[in-house]
Each structure stands twice: as C-alpha cells, then as structure tokens.
C-alpha cells in the first residue's frame, strides 16, 4: 500500500472545509424530465456515501480527548480528527478503501505522527520568534470564506468539520506560523532541469502504461518544479522531526 504523505498542518484546514462544502458546490436543480432511473442511481450513490462516511467517522475520537502530549503540550482529538479526515480523503482519491483494517491502522498511525511532527515544528517556530499577525490571519480567513457562496454555507461547512470560528482562527494562525518557519528554515535549493526531465519521463511512462499521454514538458514544467520542491521539503521535514523527537518527550495516548 502506498504511503500517504502530508506536509503536516499546511493545507489541512482548506482541504477539510472544502470537502465539507463540496455538497453545496455540486448542487444542481433536477430537470423535470430527469428519468426515474437516474434519480434512483443518484439516491443509491448518496446512500453509499452516507454509509462510507459513517464508517470513516467511527475512526475518529472525541474532540476534547487528549491524543498525545508533546513536551507538556496536549494535542486534542479535534486536531487529530482533521488530520485523519485529510488522510482518509487522500486514500479515497488514490482509489483505496480507508475503512479496511489495514488502512484504518495506517491512517491512524500517520495522523498521530503528523500531528506530533506538526507540534514539534510549531514549538521550534515559537522558539525562533515566528508568529502570525492579526492581519495575516484575517486575510487568510477571507480567502477560505471565498470558497463558499455566502456566510451561511461557510458556517454550515464549519459545523460539519467540527470547527468554530475561534478554533479556525487559532489553526489558521498556526498554519501561517508553520509556513513562515518552513520557508525560512528549510530551504530546498534550486530544482535543476535534469531533475525536471527525469520526473517528466517517469510520469510519462506511468501515464503511457495507463493509456494516457502527458502534455508537452514545457506546458507542465512549472507544476513539476513545484511538485519537486514539495517532495524535497517533505523529506527535510521528516528528517527534522526525527531529530527533534530525539530530545522531545512524546506520550501517545491512543
């Protein structure tokens, strides 16, 4: 089974909120001439989605439950559940079932490990003075809200994600703090044309095996470069967390 990678806190809020608001984005008015079979098929799909969500929710813990203690910092179930949901979604996007016994064990371990790693990095960011200003937080919150038609839809997504505005503000501030630290303290260096070419050729082989064809290299070069930056950054983050753990007190509670 392919190991899921996630850059800790960065992006989790947007991913979870977008998923919770996706039903709104997909709403369409049924045409009067819509066939009965199509309506039945839609109901069957909705039922399957509901059943899958119930199985996914069973993997979660109570929001206020302490899932781990990292250097006297308590990590709560609310944050663990967000990390878990993000990993579950990634697994589904890869065509895997996150509710199988093996997958459930995998996402649980990775969610708690990601959460511990996030906490260690944020503690380092605190030590080095990286913080998020109120203006930066409000700007990021405004971008998040833009994903929804109106405040009512946004508030509904918050509720479905198990969040309130105060918690969202705190997590947004941590996200900004985390990003500042990573950008300044974990540089990845230049991405060479040779690396981009190698990545492109590997991707082309994979797409060819699936009967598809990649666009020309020049068309996807910026995306490949960004992907390579993220991969290198992820590798350095994993190494950093491993080093921080050596001198940290980590007590996993679940």
Instruction: With a cut of 90, say whether residue 82 has pLDDT above it.
Output: no
Q: Sign (positive/negative) of CA torsion 212, 216, 218, 219? A: negative
pLDDT in tens, 132-173: 999 999 999 998 888 888 888 888 888 877 778 888 898 899
| pTM, entire model | 0.77
Q: What is the mean pLDDT of residues 109-130?
A: 94
| Domain edges within the chain | 12-24+52-188
- The C-alpha atoms of residue 67 and residue 254 are separated, in whole angstroms, by 6
CB 214 within 8 A of CB 204: yes
Instruction: With a cut of 80, say whether residue 69 has pLDDT above it.
Output: yes
Say what percent of the chain tops pLDDT 70.
85
- In order of 8, 127, 216, 218, the CA distances from 234 in angstroms are 9, 21, 27, 25
- The C-alpha atoms of residue 35 and residue 37 are separated, in whole angstroms, by 5
Mean pLDDT of the chain: 84
Q: What is the mean pLDDT of residues 17-29?
A: 54
Say what percent of the chain tops pLDDT 90.
42
Q: Which CATH class is domain 12-24+52-188?
A: mainly alpha
pLDDT in tens, 191-234: 999 999 999 998 888 877 767 777 889 999 999 999 999 889 88
Alpha carbon of residue 44 to chain centroid: 28
The per-residue pLDDT for 1 is: 39
CB 91 within 8 A of CB 108: no
Neighbours of 90 (CB within 10 A): 18
């Amino acid at each position: 089974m392919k190991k899921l990678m996630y850059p800790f806190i960065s992006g989790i809020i947007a991913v979870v909120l977008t998923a919770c608001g996706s039903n709104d984005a997909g709403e369409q008015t049924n045409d009067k001439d819509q066939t009965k079979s199509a309506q039945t098929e839609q109901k069957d799909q909705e039922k399957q989605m509901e059943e899958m969500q119930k199985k996914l929710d069973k993997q979660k813990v109570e929001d206020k439950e302490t899932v781990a203690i990292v250097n006297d910092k308590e990590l709560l179930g609310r944050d663990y559940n967000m990390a878990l949901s993000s990993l579950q979604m990634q697994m589904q996007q890869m065509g895997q079932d996150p509710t199988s016994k093996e997958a459930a064990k995998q996402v649980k371990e990775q969610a708690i490990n990601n959460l511990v790693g996030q906490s260690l990095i944020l503690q380092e960011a605190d030590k080095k003075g990286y913080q998020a200003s109120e203006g930066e937080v409000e700007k990021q919150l405004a971008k998040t809200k833009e994903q929804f038609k109106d405040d009512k839809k946004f508030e509904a997504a918050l509720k479905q994600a198990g969040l309130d505005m105060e918690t969202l503000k705190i997590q947004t501030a941590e996200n900004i703090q985390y990003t500042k630290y990573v950008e300044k303290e974990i540089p990845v260096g230049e991405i060479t044309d040779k690396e981009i070419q190698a990545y492109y050729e590997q991707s082309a082989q994979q797409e060819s095996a699936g009967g598809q064809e990649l666009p020309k290299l020049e068309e996807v070069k910026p995306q490949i470069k960004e992907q390579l930056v993220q991969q290198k950054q992820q590798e350095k983050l994993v190494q950093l967390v491993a080093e921080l753990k050596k001198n940290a007190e980590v007590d996993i509670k679940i």
